[in-house]
Amino acid sequence: MSSFKILFVTALILSIYPAYAQHGGMDMSSAQANAQASPPAMDRNMLPDAVAERFKEFASKIDVSKLNELPVQNRGRIKPLETFSREALLFLTGKYSMFGLSPVQMYLGLITFPDSQYLEIANIRDPELRTKLGYSKEQRWVSFYQLSNSKLQELSAPILEKQKQNERSVTPDEKKTLEVVQQFFMGRELLAGDQFFQAINLNVENIGETAGAAHEHGPVFEMGRSLLQALAAQDSIKSIRSASDLKVVSEQQKMPEMFKPYLDKMGAEVVYNHFRPFFFAAILYLLMGCLLIARLPKNMLSKNKILMVIVPIALLHLLGFAVRVYITGFAPVTSMYGTMIWMSFGVVLFGTLLFYLYENYIMMGTLLLGASAVLFLTESIPLVLSPDLDPIVAVLRNNFWLTIHVMTISISYAALTISMLLGNVVLVRTILGKGNLTSENEFVKTQSHLVYRAVQLGVFLLTVGIILGGWWADYSWGRFWGWDPKETWALIADIGYIAILHARYLGWLGPYGLLAAAPMAYLLVIMAWYGVNFILAAGLHSYGFSSGGATIVLTFVIVQFVIFAAAMIMKNKNKLLKKV
C-alpha cells in the first residue's frame, strides 16, 4: 500500500469517524490487508445473487434465541446485541436487516460467512454519487470489495483536506461522499469481527489497554471467539452453548456504575424493537380518522363510544413513549424523533379534548390523520429521524426543568399543528369549490373558533416553554437569554402567533383570515423546530443538531405556499363572479 493511502486511511479514521474511538479503535493492519486482498477466480458461486443465496442459507441457521439480549456497550450505554445489530446494519445497508434474516443473524453471519466482502450490502444513498463511483444510478447496494476498488479514495481525499481546513465548508454532497467512507471502514471493522469484540467488552474504563488486541485476552473474549468459531463451522450445539456462556460471562464483567442499570432492561428493549407501538398506533389513527371524515360513525356510534375507541389507541401511543422513558431513564425528547412522537401524542390529546367539547367529526378525523402521518414519517426515515435510545449529553441528564422545558415547547407545537391542519382543511375546500366559504359561512365560523382556541393554547404553552428554557439556561450557562438561534426562532414563532391572535381580536382578521393565516404562521414553527437543528446547526443547542430530510421539509413548505395561493385566488375569483 502506498504511503499516501496509509496516510489517507489514518486521517479518515481520526478526522471523519471519531466515533470509532469509543470502540477502541480499528485494526489498521487487517483493514489494509483486506483492502489489498485479491478475490478468488470469479465463478458462479461468486456472482452477487449466488453469494446472497449462500449467505442467506448460512445465516438463517444461526440460533439467536440466546443472543438477542446479549449486553454490549456502544455510544455510552449498554444495549442488547439485537439493537446494536439493527443500528449497525441500518447505517451500512439502509435497512434493519436484509435477506429475510433477523438483525443478529445477519450481523453475526457477516462476521462468520467466508465471502461477506462480496455481498452487495453497502447502501450508496445518493444516485449521483453512485455514478461518480463508477456504478449505475439504479445500483443502490454494492459490495465492500467493489468499494475498495472504486474511486472512493480519489473522491474523498480532497474533501477530507477541505474538512481539515474548515469543517463547515463541506457541502451536503461532499458529506454524502464522506458518509460512504464511514460505511466502508465500519463495514471492514464489522466483517473482521473487531467491532463485535469491542462491543462485548463492557469494561470501557480500560478499553484503551485492550483495544489493540481486543479478542486475545479475558474470558469474555475467549467466549466470543468460541461463539464465532462455532457459527463459522455451523456447529449449532456448540454455538448455543457458547452463546449461553458468553451471556453469563458478559454480565459478570467489571463495568462502570452507569452501565449497570441497563442490564435488567435488555429484554424490555428487545420486546420494544419487535412491538413497534408507534407504527400500530399510526395504523389505528389512520383507520379511525378515515371513518370520522367519512362520517360513517355519526349514525352508528355516539360521541362516548368514539372516545372509547380513540383513548385506547392514544394509550398505546403513550405506552411506547413510556417504554422509551423506562429504557433510557429520561424523557427522550432531545432529538427530532422524540419530539415528533411527543408532539403527535399532543395532537391526539388536545384533539380528543376538543372533540369532547365540540363533537366535531371532521376536526377529529383530520387530527387523527395528521398524527398518523407524523408517526408514519418517523417510522419511514430512521436514517434522518434516528429512533436510537442512546444517552443524552451530560449537561442534559437529571435536569427536571430542562425536561419540562423541552416537553412544554414540543407539546405547544402540537396545539399549533392543530391550527395548521384545521386551517388547511378550509383552504383545500376553497380550492375544491366546496360551498360558499366566506367568513359568514357556519363551517368557517366553527373551524375558526377551534383554530383560535388551538392558537391560544399553543401560544400559552410556547411562552411558558421559552421562559422555562431561559430559567434552565441561567442555571446551566449563566445567562437567561443569549439570542441563540433556537431561542430566537422560538420567540419569532411565538410573536408571529401572538400577532395573529391580536389581529383577530381587533377585527383585522376575520374568521376566514384566521384560518388562512394559521397554516402560514406554522412555517415559523418549522424553522424553529427543524430549520435551526438541521439547516443552521448553530448555537448552544448542538445536542439536537442533525442532517437530512431537507427535501421532505422543502416539499411541505412549497405545498403550503401553493395551497395558500390557490385558495386566495379561488376566493377572489368567487368574489368577482358574484359581483358580475
Tens of each residue's pLDDT in the chain, 580 residues = 444 444 444 444 443 333 333 333 333 333 333 433 444 444 545 678 899 999 999 999 999 999 999 999 998 889 999 999 999 999 999 999 999 999 999 999 999 999 999 999 999 999 999 999 999 999 999 999 999 989 999 999 999 888 888 877 888 888 899 999 999 999 999 999 999 999 999 987 665 544 444 445 788 999 999 999 999 999 999 999 999 999 999 988 888 888 888 888 999 999 999 999 999 999 999 999 998 988 765 566 788 889 999 999 999 999 999 999 899 887 767 788 988 999 999 999 999 999 999 988 989 999 999 999 999 999 999 988 889 887 765 555 556 777 888 889 999 999 999 999 999 999 999 888 776 666 567 888 899 999 999 999 999 999 999 998 888 777 766 777 778 888 888 999 999 999 999 999 999 999 999 999 999 999 999 998 888 777 665 545 545 545 566 788 889 999 999 999 999 888 877 665 454 4
Which residue is it, cell 487487517?
30
Grid cell, residue 168, equals 463547515
Tell me what pLDDT residue 398 has: 52
Q: Is residue 269 part of a domain?
A: no
Q: Are residues 571 and 448 in the same domain?
A: yes
Q: Are residues 132 and 198 in the same domain?
A: yes
CA–CA separation, 305 vs 139, rounded Å? 51
Provide the number of structural domains found in the chain.
3
Q: Are residues 178 and 296 in the same domain?
A: no
CA–CA separation, 55 vs 49, rounded Å? 10
Q: Are residues 79 and 171 in the same domain?
A: yes
Tell me what pLDDT residue 212 has: 46
Q: Is residue 535 part of a domain?
A: yes
Which residue is it, cell 355519526?
298
In whole angstroms, how far apart are CA 416 and each of 93, 368, 422, 496, 526?
Answer: 37, 15, 10, 12, 11
Q: Are residues 441 and 314 in the same domain?
A: no
Q: Are residues 461 and 502 in the same domain?
A: yes
Q: Is residue 350 part of a domain?
A: yes
Q: Is residue 271 part of a domain?
A: no
CA–CA separation, 513 vs 518, rounded Å? 9
Q: Is residue 358 part of a domain?
A: yes
Q: Are residues 377 and 481 in the same domain?
A: no
10 Å Cβ neighbour count for 3? 7
What residue numbers bound the domain in which 340 lies? Answer: 276-389
Tell me what pLDDT residue 16 has: 37
Give yes or no for a contact between 160 and 16, defined as CB atoms under 8 angstroms apart. Answer: yes
Tell me what pLDDT residue 52 has: 93
Q: Is 403 helix (H, G, I), strand (E, B) or coil?
A: helix
Tell me what pLDDT residue 121 has: 94
Tell me what pLDDT residue 412 has: 95
Q: Is residue 128 part of a domain?
A: yes
CA–CA separation, 389 vs 195, rounded Å? 19
Q: Are residues 372 and 408 in the same domain?
A: no
Q: Are residues 62 and 132 in the same domain?
A: yes
Give yes or no for a contact between 25 and 197, defined as CB atoms under 8 angstroms apart. Answer: no
Last residue of a domain, one of 262, 295, 314: 262
Last residue of a domain, one of 328, 356, 389: 389
Q: Are residues 407 and 353 in the same domain?
A: no
Q: Is residue 7 part of a domain?
A: yes
Q: Is residue 9 part of a domain?
A: yes
Nearest to 578 by CA among 426, 438, 431, 434: 438
In whole angstroms, how far apart are CA 437 and each of 173, 265, 388, 428, 440?
Answer: 46, 55, 45, 11, 8
Last residue of a domain, one of 230, 262, 294: 262
Q: Are residues 285 and 248 in the same domain?
A: no
Nearest to 195 by CA among 294, 88, 94: 88
Tell me what pLDDT residue 367 has: 96
Tell me what pLDDT residue 17 has: 39
CA–CA separation, 153 vs 145, rounded Å? 14
Q: Is 362 helix (H, G, I), strand (E, B) or coil?
A: helix
> Could you tell me the sign of the dihedral formed by the alpha carbons of 417, 420, 426, 431, in that order?
negative
Q: Are residues 485 and 565 in the same domain?
A: yes
Q: C-alpha 438: how far from its chain's center?
A: 41
